[in-house]
A and B are shown apart, each in its own frame.
Chain A
Amino acid sequence: GDSVTQMEGPVTLSEEAFLTINCTYTATGYPSLFWYVQYPGEGLQLLLKATKADDKGSNKGFEATYRKETTSFHLEKGSVQVSDSAVYFCALNRYKFYFGSGTKLNVKP
């Protein structure tokens, strides 16, 4: 069946470091792919999305490219800030939603 696998955390970085959070998926057909962010005690917020192969989603300095050949949708940011500390979820929609287990990011000043 369809599924999403993302790297385990926590990921700890210093401010201004480069961020990569890996996400791979298993799905037949052409799912849409999403990254969500969850701050402590809050609901999930959509960070970015991509609906077809080679699409790049971007928002607030975060980017992710839909790579069908490697079934991946890795999240990247060139320079993280303390305020980026949160849990990040990768997800896919192929007529049903599947979420990854989440990756906690800690950014130290």
Chain B
Amino acid sequence: DGGITQSPKYLFRKEGQNVTLSCEQNLNHDAMYWYRQDPGQGLRLIYYSQIVNDFQKGDIAEGYSVSREKKESFPLTVTSAQKNPTAFYLCASSIAGDTSSYNEQFFGPGTRLTVL
């Protein structure tokens, strides 16, 4: 089955530690996205990538970093500079990025990060 996997489902870290969230897709999509969701809130875009080896900052990129070395993988690192990292993190992908207005985004199951 094609889809997006995120691991782990739950992640606990001590304050001051960097942590990397995994996102893998086997949909052969060009574009991938990371969102943050706080309790009872909507989605906020952290970073997105439309092609391998290229990515752009979203609305709340401070304290986060990403890489896109392979088409199917888009890991997100939450650094110690992120002041309030506890949240639900969602990865998504779409066939094309800003070259098309027709395509939907497909979402992974999410990773809940708790910083103690």
Contacts and interface: CB of A to CB of B under 8 A. Distances in A.
A46 B4 CA distance: 14
Interface stretch (B14-22, B62-70, B101-109): B101-109
Interface in A55-80: none
Contacts of B42: 89, 99-102
- Count class of interface residues, chain A: 20 to 34
Contact of B100 (A34, A42, A95, A100): A95
A46 B101 contact: no
Contact of A42 (B94, B102, B109): B109
A49 B103 CA distance: 9
Interface in B80-116: 90, 92, 94, 98-110, 112
B57 to A, nearest CB: 13
Main secondary structure on B side of the interface with A: loop
A59 to B, nearest CB: 12
A30 B100 CA distance: 11
A46 B106 contact: yes
Given A42-B110, A44-B90, A95 B104 contact: no
A95 B101 CA distance: 5
Contacts of A29: 101
Contacts of B100: 93, 95
B43 A32 contact: no
Q: Which of A31, A42, A45, A89 gathers most chain B CB within 10 Å?
A: A42
Nearest to A31: B101
Interface of A: 29-32, 34, 36, 41-46, 49, 51, 89, 91, 93-97, 99-102, 104
